[in-house]
Amino acid sequence: MIYTDSTVIPAFFEAAVKGGVCRIDGDGGQSRDFCHVDNVVAANILAAEHKGKLLGEKLNIANGETHSVIEVFEIIKDLMGVDLKKNHVAARLGDPRKSHASITKAGSILGYSTKVGFLEGMKKTAEWWKAGCPIEIGE
pLDDT in tens, 88-111: 999 988 888 998 999 999 999 999
Q: What percent of the chain is modeled with pLDDT above 90?
A: 80
pLDDT recorded at residue 7: 83
pLDDT recorded at residue 55: 85
Residue 138 above 70 pLDDT?
Answer: no
The mean pLDDT of 14-31, rounded to a whole number, is 94
Burial class (CB within 10 angstroms; exposed 0-12, middle 13-18, buried 19+) of 101: middle
Residue 6 above 90 pLDDT?
Answer: no
pLDDT in tens, 45-88: 999 999 988 888 899 999 999 999 999 999 999 999 999 999 99
SS in 3 state form for 75-126? HHHHHHCCCCEEEEECCCCCCCCECCCCCHHHHHHHCCCCCCCHHHHHHHHH
Phi and psi angles of residue 118, each rounded to the nearest 5 degrees, phi first: -55, -55
Map out the domains of the chain as residue ranges: 2-130
The DSSP output letter for 5 is S
Please give the class, per CATH, of domain 2-130: alpha beta
Residue 3 above 80 pLDDT?
Answer: no
pLDDT recorded at residue 1: 45
pLDDT recorded at residue 4: 41
pLDDT recorded at residue 133: 87
Q: C-alpha 57: how far from its chain's center?
A: 23
Question: If we measure between CA atoms, which residue out of 75, 79, 37, 20 comes closest to residue 4?
Answer: 20
pLDDT recorded at residue 2: 40
